[in-house]
Amino acid sequence: MAKESVAIIKDKLNVNRVIDVLNKALAEEWLAFYQYWIGAAVMKGAMRGDIQREFEQHALEEFGHAKLLVDRIIQLEGTPLLHPQRWFEYTECAYEEPDNDFEITRLLLQNTASERCAIRRYQGIAAMTDGKDFTTCDLAKKILADEQAHEQELQDFLDDVRMLYRETSLYE
């Protein structure tokens, strides 16, 4: 129970709405974690080792985001989602199941789409809480910066793999 944490913001914004949107983000983080984690395991294609390591690293970072969100939900006297079934009820980002024979560029594109959804999510939470709930706003801005770095890294890998495919085809 963190009564003062709630008291200082409840005149400025609807705390239940904040908790609800944090639970949506929590669902999305778990799905992002699994999408990266399982993608790293099944991927095939150029630069596999490097991209696998990046996916595994991002999985851990999404897991860390989930923990930050749960801690904030509890501070706001909310209840974090307690059952994985609820992840699909709450998420507004699509879960991108690895497809197309697990080819690496396809997985990079799928995870880029998920990162873009995460960027919109944290931009939204930051805007909603700006000037009203400093702690949640700071949290959203911190995670937003991580998701933007993730998007950039995936785009860079996509460029590199495409360049490699182009070079390889020159010698065939």
* Of 68-76, 92-100, 127-135, 139-147: span binding Fe ion (CB under 5 A): 139-147
Q: What would the DSSP string read from start to end of 2-19?
A: -HHHHHTTTTTS-HHHHH
Nearer to Fe ion, 106 or 116 (CB): 116
Q: How many CA atoms lie within 13 A of 99 on its CB side?
A: 5
Nearer to Fe ion, 62 or 133 (CB): 62
Nearer to Fe ion, 72 or 150 (CB): 150
Please, what is the minimum distance in Å from the beta carbon of residue 171 to Fe ion? 31
Nearer to Fe ion, 9 or 59 (CB): 59
- Spatial separation of the C-alpha atoms in residues 54 and 23, rounded to whole Å: 26
Binding characters for Fe ion, 33-72, by CB under 5 A (x = yes) = -----------------------------x--x-------
Determine, following the binding rule CB under 5 A, whether residue 96 of this chain makes contact with Fe ion.
Answer: no
3-state secondary structure of 95: coil
Determine, following the binding rule CB under 5 A, whether residue 24 of this chain makes contact with Fe ion.
Answer: no
* Of 4-12, 96-104, 128-136, 144-152: span binding Fe ion (CB under 5 A): 144-152
29 membership: H or E segment, kind and range:
helix 15-42
Please, what is the minimum distance in Å from the beta carbon of residue 133 to Fe ion? 19
Question: What phi and psi values does residue 103 have, to the nearest 5 degrees?
Answer: -65, 140
- Spatial separation of the C-alpha atoms in residues 23 and 168, rounded to whole Å: 45
Determine, following the binding rule CB under 5 A, whether residue 150 of this chain makes contact with Fe ion.
Answer: yes
- Spatial separation of the C-alpha atoms in residues 81 and 35, rounded to whole Å: 19
The total of other beta-carbon atoms located within 10 Å of residue 52's CB is: 16
* Interface residues toward Fe ion, by CB under 5 A: 29, 62, 65, 115, 147, 150, 153
